[in-house]
């Protein structure tokens, strides 16, 4: 599971997110990994996942607050690899920052 560190314009769909994964994150979007993208305000999240024969997109919009992010530094690059434990605060709307 990978999280794009910078904000992403979430108006794009399958092909746009796959292109960002390939060109910006330098990863293979068809690898079977889950790729997470946040908007600038961190209140919207899109997840891109390749499942054997096509892409799946999950989209979540918080009614208030922002997704909590794990700590990272500039040295981590354009994306960080997340384990299930560090992804929990991002994927759980109950653990969002005010």
Residue 96 confidence (pLDDT): 45
For residue 4, the SS3 value is strand
> pTM value?
0.82
pLDDT in tens, 60-90: 999 998 888 777 665 567 888 887 665 555 6
Average of per-residue pLDDT across 30-45: 94
- From residue 20, alpha-carbon distances to 27, 34, 82 in Å are 9, 13, 18
Give the pLDDT score at 94.
43
The number of beta carbons lying within 10 Å of the beta carbon of residue 38 is: 21
Residue range 43-70: average pLDDT? 91
Distance CA 81, CA 4 (A): 9
Q: What is the mean pLDDT of residues 23-34?
A: 94
């Amino acid at each position: 599971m990978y999280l794009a560190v910078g904000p992403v314009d979430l108006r794009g769909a399958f092909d746009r997110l796959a292109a960002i994964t390939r060109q910006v994150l330098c990863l293979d979007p068809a690898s079977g990994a889950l790729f997470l993208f946040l908007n600038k305000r961190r209140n919207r999240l899109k997840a891109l996942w390749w499942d054997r024969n096509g892409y799946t997109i999950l989209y979540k919009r918080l009614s208030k607050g922002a997704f909590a992010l794990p700590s990272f530094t500039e040295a981590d690059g354009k994306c960080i690899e997340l384990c299930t434990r560090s992804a929990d605060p991002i994927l759980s709307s109950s653990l969002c920052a005010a």
